[in-house]
Structure 1
Amino acid sequence: MDTLWSGTVGRRFTILYAAGFLGSGTVLLALTYLMSGTRVSGVAPGQPRTGRPGLAAAEQQIRDLERQLSDVHAQQNHQLLVGSLIALVVMAGLSLLLGRILAGRVLRPLRLITAATRRISAENLHQRLAVAGPVDEVKELADTVDGLLERLEASFVAQRRFVGNASHELRTPLATIRASLDVAVAKPEPAAQTVALAGRLRTELDRVDHLLDGFLLLARAQYGTLTDRTPVSLGELAREALADRSSDIAAKTLTVDGEVRPDAWTRGSPALLSRMVENMVDNAITHNQDSGWIRISTAHDGTGAVLVVETGGRVLDQGEVDRLTQPFERLGTDRTGPEGSSGLGLSIVAAIVAAHGGRLTLLARPEGGLCVTVALPSATASEGWHGAGERGHGDGER
């Protein structure tokens, strides 16, 4: 009973309406059957009681008539019982049908509200349900959802405004500090301590600048709108990222292999997708051991474009790996982070993948190391090759 009652609201309403109809019909048939079973006694017409022989014959005739009436009454009761059972079965079917129809009519406004709410996303929060009709519980629910959407729209607008303002306001003091360092070092015969201090400050400024870029990119992926969706090849982005980092790979004597196919096309922001691939490759290089290996591959599995980056190394805990998509989360021995690491790499990857409607999977390899898999919706081959001719490699936002 609990399993039957734990279905959808439509099923519960159907069962409730059907039970109500069936119960009332059962009571009505029972009352009809009981009332039809009331016996009406009377004297059957016969010969007048003028003598004993005639009286005995009349009494025998009365008994015969009563027996015949009793047989007819029993047959009628049997027929009424069979007819009532048939009517009850028919009424059960009609009760389910009527219950389903009534449940559909009652829940129809809720289904319309659900469908309209699903169509509203971060990119069209300006839309409203705007349900018309009498002021009832359904309209109050729709108005409440519209109020929530209005507050969400205001919050998203504030977030996007913050991203734009922070991009300008935070870079200005950094540029001022850099200029002051350049002026101090450019003086004739600067002190050795000044030059050393300037070098250390430039290193820290580079880290702050890198961290700021990560914050802004993370905010854009989470709260921004993707207005520059074009076909992008994940294979091409992977080859570019590996080529740009060839010196880092050589410095750690890493071995890179895998199959980077050109048919892994997706549709999205070239700048964000490029940063996503770069962060995956950077993570594989930075958190790798000397003389280790990297396996990177792209493919098209029929449902989407897939990028896989694997690395070797020590055996990792899957629970810690699952938290790497959160900002500043690192593995146990890397809490302080290596030089140049902001702790935002995989969280930016997760935000970009989510913004493109994809799926990110982090798997601790049983033999050691990490496997990062990104699956994104695919673009058609014609879209991909056409986009390749129009899209340049220099997006200017890496």
Structure 2
Amino acid sequence: MATTLRTRIRVRAQACLSGPGAARVRALVRLLTPRRVRVRFAMLFGLLFIASGAVLLGITYLLVNRPTHNVVTAVHEEGVPGSGSAPGTVIRPGPGSGSPQDLTVWLNDQLRRQTEHLHDAQMHELLVQSGTALAIMAAISIVLSWLLARRVLRPMRTLNAGIARISASNVHERLAVAGPRDEISELADSIDGLLARLEAALESHKRFVANAAHELRTPLTVERALLEESLLDRDATAASFRENFERLLRISTHQGALLESLLTLAVSERGVERTEPVDLAEINESVLLTQLPETLRHGVRIEYRTEPTPVAGDTALLERLVANLVHNAAYYNVPDGSVDITVRRHDRRAVLTVSNTGPEVPSDRVDQLFEPFQRMYRTAGDGHHGLGLSIVRAIAAAHDATLTARARPGGGLVVEVSFPLLVKAGERYEGWSQPRAATASK
């Protein structure tokens, strides 16, 4: 019964608040609420001062208005104040002033009335003067609050003007607010950091678009040339047509692989939408089974060591990460070279390390290899677009993984990807599994 009553009350309250009258009230409140922060600050400070002043005056009024024991009384000649009489001023009527008892009563009544009248007048005067002082100080406080709000918000106006001045053409500019280390300077530094990251992202986007356009323009130009050759050559035979079509098919396959890589890179940079528990060791073994023909073709030896390393991530993207690392290590290698792969646990992290023998890699070019369309050696028609390691970096970032790379002494590259490890409560460290090796001869 009580629940039903509460439900009815809540429904009626919601109906009242959602009715046309409530909408008009909300619109009136929005209309009366000042939109300028400076005005709101001035009103807030003024109201706080008025409220605190009113409370202070009220407390003072109550303390002054409390009953007092200092009274004036009159007693007749024979009366002697005893221990029960109230302290104060005592008036003793002299002889010949009428009936002592009646005169004493009359004097006490007149004195009481006069005292009450004087007290009421004093309290009224105190109230009027306090109200006047409060009104004067309220006006002064509002003016001071207005000036104070202007002074406090001046750095914000400077920040606003600086941010409004920055656009895509001058994103390199910074606010560089000088002054003491306070909330305003911290906000300015955060905005400068955001602008720096935005500038880096814009520059990376420009380079990516330019490189992608260059990579796509070349095969399109070749396709157009082959088609024009087939149309303009009047002596073309079926064999020449077939040769041109085969070349067009290879170019189309190359473009499809490039577009697929671009799409994977875009999806990786967008982030992981769905994660699931994945064993990085199992993914590594699955990729090695599919990559074995490729390693056989390049004549490299693969050695790997794994242990159970559960992580949270997207299975397809993690497989692409491992496949790109293995393919890159096998392709950019030397005859009779090797690829060493380890999957291990370290400091509650799942660490995947892929190292290979290969040509010398300058230390200053290691980070550049992870940019889109960057390759150590460009070979026309090799089917590589320079997107493999950039896709690895994007997938690692999407999984909150740490990616590090360094040049290997004697040639080659060492790439290490560290993922957050999924460890169940009470799980024990199991150590290394037995090393396994897959050897391929030329």
What range describes the TM-score normalised by the shorter chain of this pair? 0.3 to 0.5
Q: TM-score normalised to the size of structure 2? A: 0.43
Q: TM-score normalised to the size of structure 1? A: 0.47
Q: Which has the larger radius of gyration?
A: 2
